[in-house]
Chains A and B, each alone.
Chain A
Amino acid sequence: MRHLMNPMDLSIEELDDLMKVANDIEKNPSKYAHACDGKKLATLFYEPSTRTRLSHEAAMLNLGGSVLGFSEASSSSATKGESVSDTMRTISCYADICAMRHPKEGAPMVASIHSSIPVINAGDGGHQHPTQTLTDLLTIHTLKGRLDNMTIGLCGDLKFGRTVHSLIQSLTRYHGIKFVLISPEELRLPSYIRKDVIEENNIPYEEVITLEDALPELDILYMTRVQKERFFNEDDYLKMKDFYVLNKEKLKLAKDDMYVLHPLPRVNEISVDVDDDPRAAYFKQMQYGVYIRMALILFLLDIHVE
């Protein structure tokens, strides 16, 4: 039995297969409409989420399965002090697969150890968010036709942004990648990612502060939100939250075939006047998020659709 804790749990070959299935789902959704008949997905969300929870649920429903779960810790026995492992033992009796989001890092790993069903890490604190990374990779691969030979700009909160860390880690496995890290000094990429992941793999990168300087050379711009929930101090958050705003004017500096991705939700970092630009890929990205989660559920349940 497999779980998904970290995007690196999947080999490049497995990732390629998942993306092939996801692209096939996009073209032939009816072929997959009953692939999970009779199967149940439990969504255990100890922290609020719109996209991640609903996209997992939509994925299972699209496959003909059903869903159950809770969307905040207060509506679970966690409020009574139940441990993650006991909750997981319980859910293993009710469902065939589960997706867990938890504010504490490593909670889904604890769950997986005590689970008799596959566990998907749907985000654990500032640690990992592997299905977002799979979504990002599928989006880039589908729009650009490749995952190698690209200059990727990552902008905003590179310090606490778990999606950024996971995406960097995953992309280092492909040839010809260059990273441009765009952030204020205070939100720079942690050194353990810069040194142990980027430098260790001899990946070229540069750190810049101004978005406009970086835009002309990028093939992908990955914007992030400065996340209030990751700050212990409100003043620090307020100082950083509006540091970057991508608008129509700035986008003129970018290549015609550059795409803008964002894990969403956005606050102010992408102006709404960018939404209609053909390079704005962040809404398509959400749709790809459903396809890749459908492919992932099939993979973890070992269901093959011919």
Chain B
Amino acid sequence: MPNKVNLSINGFSIEVSKDTTILDAAKELGITIPTLCYHKDLCVAGNCRVCVVEVAGQKRLSAACATPCEEGMEILTNSLKVRNSRKHIIELLLSEHNADCTKCYRNGNCELQELASEYKIMTQDFLELVPHKNYTIDAYSPSIIKDDSKCIRCQRCVRTCAELQGVNALTCSHKGDEMKITTFYEKHMREVVCTNCGQCINHCPTGALVEKNYIEQVWEAIADPKKHVVVQTAPAVRVGLGEELGLEPGTRLTGKMVAALKRLGFDSVLDTDFTADLTIIEEGTELLTRLKKALVDKDETVSLPMATSCSPGWIKYIEHMYPEYLDNLSTCKSPQQMFGALAKTYYAKARNLEPENIVSVSIMPCTAKKFEAYRPEMHDSGYRDVNYVLTTRELAILIKQAGLDFDRLDEMKYDRLMGESTGAGVIFGATGGVMEAALRTAYEIVTGREVPFKNLNITPVRGMEGVKEASIKIENPVEDWAFLDGVELKCAIAHGLVNAKVVMDKIKQGEADYHFIEFMACPGGCLGGGGQPIPTNPEIRQKRMEAIYAEDGDMPIRKSHDNPEVQKLYKDFLKEPLGEVSHHLLHTKYTKRERF
């Protein structure tokens, strides 16, 4: 077997395939080697040197993450030499790091802190370097706070921004002691191409990159008797929250989460899935309208393919990178913003509340949503449509602060009026979900029949592949859509902005003939969002995805257009999809932005 090598680690023999790193081989033997700059989502950097191990016969130690196994290697992962060196490295990192842990947002979930604790670094023998540095904090972005004093220069954020997102908002500058992670011309994060996706936060081992939190503001709103605080929860939160509370990845917590939110004191606990269903009606109708204009009216000004607009990270990305394609975006607001606009109009009216007394809070797996809520155009209700956006992580903090024993909560249902949802709404949380939900509805509108997939599961659009393509042929449509007879509806799905770039470049070069494309900024879709629990990695994303589809499967209603509350909303308030009220409240415009 030429592709296999035999080696020993701490005296235990193992056979592994040739390209296996020492780190992975050790893991197979149940030996954990500590790491900091290593992350499963990213290429190997080998720069923190925490994972060094001793290879017999070599004076120098080798980085386990970056060194492939070789035949006959004898490796020691915990020799005295390794331990002393590793301890030194942790001490060095701490000497350069603002280790004021009690005042750190990541206190208790910090990889450096964990290592320091594991190695019992009880004293600071080396000189404190922090006072010698001109560390700065950038807190100008509504989404992300960047605190250089906490940075350990592992470059995980830089690799994330480049490899997963293709954005390159973060980069290294300077060298030696002045080496740091910064932005173009050291501008503030809010002034550069940053999409606020928060993947850097999710990949940061320390507190150098954290979300801007709105925890206190939300507590204040809840405590204010004059305010009616409504909360909406995004689809992906219910399958991620558990990890923050010590449960296994992929634990489904919808009912308990609703119960917790009620205990926290929110006046009404509602569901973003409701406006996800609404998005499908609006966006589906928009797609069909565009197709009609293009195919029947031969209107050449119609922009196809149409791209989804639910992911605010993706929106900011296209605004910066492909501003010439903004007309291809669906004009639909994201479900969060549709919800916000309706909460202070439709909901306020129905509940007989003054919109200025409504505080609209959303729980999102996302940090870009914080930016989205702050967009100047998101005031269509006459007020700020969404007041505060909390991440999944922040919700967990609320729950912990309130002292709720999550295990003992009884499952509860969402409140009514904007709390009803379908399986199509919940799958918005996974890559391909919007596409699947849209197809379930659009196909049925056009043909009068359900999509021809078993149990409505459109499996070709599911899964973790970076770019997915699917097509569905329309046959025997109902009379209104007769012009679509025989048309093969071509779709593409991209998640992770680096994959969005692949699709956009294809479009730019005229090599794509898609009709409809779903774009999600984060790997795996919202379930892998920048506001989700840390760590997030491929296995965890997979588990969350399975949970999302299980939620869908268990829902009594699986198609957005069957959502009775959505139907009622149209009957009582909106009248028709793409109608005047919709146009005013549910649709938006985009902004051309520079690359720098």
User: A and B bound?
Assistant: no
Residues of A whose CB lies within 8 Å of any CB of B are: none
